[in-house]
Structure 1
Amino acid sequence: MRCVPLVRTTTPSAARRDQPNEAVLTTFRELGILPETAEALEAVGITSPFPIQAETLPVALAGADVIGQAKTGTGKTLGFGLPLLEKVTVPADVEAGRAKPEDLTDAPQALVVVPTRELCQQVTNDLLTAGKVRNVRVCAIYGGRSYEPQVEALKKGVDVIVGTPGRLLDLAGQKKLRLSEVKALVLDEADEMLDLGFLPDVEKIINLLPARRQTMLFSATMPGAVIGLARRYMSQPTHIRATAPDDEGQTVANTKQHVFRAHSMDKPEMVARILQADGRGLSMIFCRTKRTAADISEQLSKRGFAAGAVHGDLGQGAREQALRAFRNGKVDVLVCTDVAARGIDVEGVTHVINYQSPEDEKTYLHRIGRTGRAGASGVAVTLVDWDDVPRWKLINKALELDFDDPEETYSTSAHLYEALGIPEGTKGILPRAERTRAGLGAEEIEDLGETGGRGRQGGRSGDRKSASAGSAAKDEERKPRRQRSRTRTRGGQPVAADSASQEAPAKAEAASDAPRKPRRRRRTRGAAPKAGSAE
């Protein structure tokens, strides 16, 4: 354990703040990344870094420990991902003369720990994109799916592991995952891991790693517990807080925020009309509970919208089916709990609707951060119920917003139509002519060999239905069991059945229809006589 103070803080320079944003942008090649990595990024249209990337890369490429802090949607993944890929030695490096053949290994050389499955998939995809030309092997390790494919990938050889704490510890405990060759560790969304109670697991994972390594910690917020974690496990880290020159406050300037006080019974109708606003693209609706998310998704589907759901009661296969359909455009409305507030980076998300007020300001930031990403503009709408007004006031104060007293709003309010660009005369049912999406059913569900006993289609309720159907079928096939004969014993010796005991079954059967006589009780005084004793 290395207990050292945080020694430096790096933020965009004053010279950069005074110049237009375009003037300060450079290219990834100028920042010193490998030509193959720059080529892979340019192939997908990524050439210029965001502030967090421009500030982080020079420090991280030099091998220093880094604490990176930036707003959601500003490119933190590549901020730590590019230095991580530079640490890895692959055959392409040997061919280019940058490494020796003996430096190659099939054991993981870099590890990224994330709090959620969705974020694990997102980071894995980004690293695969950046490492495509060098053919860097990246493997996602997370729960909810079978172990065998993940174990098989580890046997074949992996360069970078992206995983959730629970499954990482499982495989490490089974000796399937070897972490002794890890050169770089990244803790992504560390504050969320602490909120979910993963701190003990994260510390166990860190203790399995070599003492000499590079450690990077990235998050949008930095509570005291995260700083404490950094002090224990990082060596003289550089704390980088990066913001765009023209972006003030804790929320992204490109996201237009609206907050309305709404009645719970009118919210479905309001949401249905908001989803018909001019210019609406892909949209995400956030709920606090799994039951609410499932209910709203079902209601919107009945109203004609192509909607899918992502929440904890769904099996992993159903969750990934909804996300694939959302990314592929077969579904344009994704209703989810906060399990999806981090890690979903889908291009074209124009609207985020908080159907229920978030628990705190951090959750609010991550929810609305699903839109207005990578410089694009977006709209965030929050519907505050009367009971949630005190909670919202705390969020508003913490983020220094201008919505301390949300305006009372209904689905027919004129200011709702005007603020969000909803065409006049819009009703809560999508016209048939506009139902052009293929829907969730058009996306096949993948059999992941899910663990934990949850079904592929319907989560817990689906499991209960399938289990009850299976037990009913077994009951029909079950034959009547033969009655077991019992032998009466007394003191360990069999007792011969007398005529009375032999006639007992017949008498009992004959008397089953007759009324029962009340049992006669003996009155005693003092202790009851023992069985077999003379009276």
Structure 2
Amino acid sequence: MERVLNISIRYRHALANTAERITLPVSVRKRRDAKLRKSKQSFIQRNAIDSPLIISCKRREFNHFRDNVYVNSWNEEIPLRFLASGGWLHYKSKGDYFNINTRSKPNHLDKHTKFADLGLSSALLDILKGEGVKHPSHVQVQTIPSILDMSNVICAAETGCGKTLAYLLPILQALINCKSMIDQKERTLASPLAVILLPSQELAQQVSSVAERYCKQLRLDVLCLSQGSATNRVISSLRAKPQSIDVLVATPGSLSIALRSKAISPMLVNHVVIDEADTLMDESFNRDTVQLLHQLSAKPAGIQGMQIVLASATLPRTLHSILGDTISAAGFVQCMTENLHHMLGHVTQRFMRLGHVDKPVELVKVLAESPKTPTMVFVKNCGAASYLHGLLREKRIESTALHGDLPGNERKGRFKEFQEEQCNVLVCSDVASRGLDTLRVSHVINYDFPFHITDYIHRAGRVGRLGSHVSGKVTNFIGHRPEVNLVWQIERAVRSNRDIAELPDVNTNTKGFINNQGLHVRRRFLR
């Protein structure tokens, strides 16, 4: 009886296992596989293996050639199965990589145009000749005449193409004419004629040094107000003994202090430049910037009587709503280049799927392979910068760290140390990703890959700049889910365009991005 019972139990288990497992007939499986192959072939058409290789992958079946065409009658985005990074959410993808190769040569200059054709004075032309600047860039050809016409201008172009001179040269020419008509005896206070706003003290000091080189020969006075104890001393001296100021370069915080303490008079301001406007006009800082614009427009005509120039390498799609009712976006002349929001075609970019514990080892390996290459290593925050700086010092790799927690004087010294070739590795946060003169840099490493496409554009733009002798390269370490999502966007953009890849979703609304994505990103990290 017990034996019969055991047999019946085994028989019921066998029936249960059989019921859970559904096996398709061989003919059905063959039809299914044929239909899947046909659907893949209808989406992608590989018709140019002999054309230049644009994306080279560790797994060669994902290589992308220039004339490969992705066809989809439903107008959908390229499926993940065609992306080299499509399976990077799985832990077994660690060690995979792909490269985006160079597709074009740098094309910043307009060699068919001369600065004399843009309406600049002979004095400025002589200075440019002495500086060795022969031809204007494409953005300068568009921007300089518009500013000379006293129009409000949006100057938007790719990183490293000469936007600083694009707005500085015509404003200096306007100041020469304006200064001759102003009675200098009436300028009893420090009354600047032009104000240039920048988001960081490093960038303010850099633009100030460029302005001083040109203003010295034009007999114009430049003052730089960046945050720190030095700024407080300058403001105290201005209150005690006002001096002549023609061009004021400042960060919003230092300018706000100077205006509140009445060390600076806004009565004669005719030109206001908001450099890195995507940051200063972001929803998080827009209120402070607009308030400064109201304080600077002390004339009876208000903001309407003052020329405003917005300059940036990324332009928010929602600029009209960001500017709000204070400034009419319709009144701006838009000077934009064709490569705005596009991948740098002359810079090699490598994307590596790594585990979190593998990143320090890989970083040391990459830096050891080229110890004399000037390199910027970007991390997510100040603590990570200090940690990596200490790690590299233990590995006997000369480096310095630059981040927001450092005192102002020490920050200035760190970047100067890197610029003067005292070390070849600069570990930095995003404080060094915008606008800084990094002609020396030939390699950018995104140790912590950004979550937003705008940050990637600015970081990658530290190489391949106008005047640089090398195109450079970018190496990216990918380790988290939000980072993989951004890699998908970049790879799709490159595969979808034969020559120029326009990056999607370029919007620097930091506050909105945090509100919409912050909690979601945090949950995904905890998984």
- TM-score normalised to structure 1 length: 0.65
Q: Does 1:385 align with 2:496?
A: no
1:422-474 Cα offsets, whole Å, 9 max, x none, are xxxxxxxxxxxxxxxxxxxxxxxxxxxxxxxxxxxxxxxxxxxxxxxxxxxxx
1:250: which partner in 2? 342
Q: Which one of the candidate residues 399, 419, 424 is aligned to 1:307?
A: 399
Cα contact 2:314–2:340 (8 A) shared by 1: no
1:337-377 Cα offsets, whole Å, 9 max, x none, are 01111131122210000001112000000011111110531
Return the letter of the residue paired with 1:362: T
Query: 1:70 Cα shift?
Result: 0.4
Write the distance in 1 (CA, Å) between the matches of 2:114 and 2:292: 35
Write the distance in 2 (CA, Å) between the matches of 1:402 and 1:184: 43
1:123-165 Cα offsets, whole Å, 9 max, x none, are 2122222323113212111212331124435822211111111
Q: Where do 5+ consecutive residues of structure 2 fail to align?
A: 1-106, 497-527
Query: 1:179 Cα shift?
Result: 1.0
1:347: which partner in 2? 439
Write the distance in 2 (CA, Å) between the matches of 1:21 and 1:315: 36
Write the distance in 2 (CA, Å) between the matches of 1:321 and 1:23: 36
Instruction: Using the TM superposition, name which of 157-166 and 195-204 deviates more.
Output: 195-204
Of all paired residues, the percent bearing the same amino acid is 27
- TM-score normalised to structure 2 length: 0.66
Query: 1:251 Cα shift?
Result: 2.3
Q: Does 1:159 align with 2:251?
A: no
When residues 101 and 169 of structure 1 are mapped into structure 2, their CA distance, relative to the original with a 3 A threshold, is closer
Query: 1:273 Cα shift?
Result: 2.5
Q: Does 1:109 align with 2:204?
A: no
Q: Does 1:237 align with 2:332?
A: yes
Write the distance in 1 (CA, Å) between the matches of 2:248 and 2:462: 25
Cα contact 1:254–1:375 (8 A) shared by 2: no
Query: 1:82 Cα shift?
Result: 1.2
Q: Secondary structure at the match of 1:33?
A: coil
Write the distance in 2 (CA, Å) between the matches of 1:167 and 1:125: 18
Cα contact 2:111–2:136 (8 A) shared by 1: no
Cα contact 1:57–1:79 (8 A) shared by 2: yes
2:174: which partner in 1? 87
Return the letter of the residue paired with 2:465: R
Cα contact 1:90–1:134 (8 A) shared by 2: no
Q: Does 1:337 align with 2:337?
A: no
Query: 1:32 Cα shift?
Result: 2.0
Return the letter of the residue paired with 1:382: N
1:269-314 Cα offsets, whole Å, 9 max, x none, are 2222222445953210000021111111111122222211111221
When residues 248 and 126 of structure 1 are mapped into structure 2, their CA distance, relative to the original with a 3 A threshold, is closer
Q: Where do 5+ consecutive residues of structure 1 fail to align?
A: 1-19, 404-535
Query: 1:29 Cα shift?
Result: 2.9
2:205: which partner in 1? 121
Q: Secondary structure at the match of 1:205?
A: helix
Q: Which residues of 2 match residues 517-528 of structure 1 at below 5 A? A: none
Write the distance in 2 (CA, Å) between the matches of 1:103 and 1:47: 38
1:96-125 Cα offsets, whole Å, 9 max, x none, are xxx576598451000111122222122212
Cα contact 1:67–1:237 (8 A) shared by 2: yes
Write the distance in 2 (CA, Å) between the matches of 1:207 and 1:79: 25
Return the letter of the residue paired with 1:259: F
Write the distance in 1 (CA, Å) between the matches of 2:331 and 2:185: 27
Write the distance in 1 (CA, Å) between the matches of 2:410 and 2:143: 37
When residues 389 and 327 of structure 1 are mapped into structure 2, their CA distance, relative to the original with a 3 A threshold, is closer
1:475: which partner in 2? none
Higher-Rg member (1/2):
1
1:504: which partner in 2? none
Return the letter of the residue paired with 2:233: E
1:169: which partner in 2? 256
Q: Does 1:178 align with 2:265?
A: yes
Write the distance in 2 (CA, Å) between the matches of 1:332 and 1:142: 26
1:393-433 Cα offsets, whole Å, 9 max, x none, are 35526x81459xxxxxxxxxxxxxxxxxxxxxxxxxxxxxx
Return the letter of the residue paired with 1:47: K
Query: 1:30 Cα shift?
Result: 2.9
2:224: which partner in 1? 140
Cα contact 2:108–2:138 (8 A) shared by 1: no
Q: Does 1:49 align with 2:144?
A: no
Write the distance in 2 (CA, Å) between the matches of 1:395 and 1:124: 37
Quote the RMSD (CA, aligned, Å).
Answer: 2.7
2:414: which partner in 1? 322
1:66-115 Cα offsets, whole Å, 9 max, x none, are 11110111111111111221221389x75xxxx57659845100011112
When residues 229 and 83 of structure 1 are mapped into structure 2, their CA distance, relative to the original with a 3 A threshold, is farther
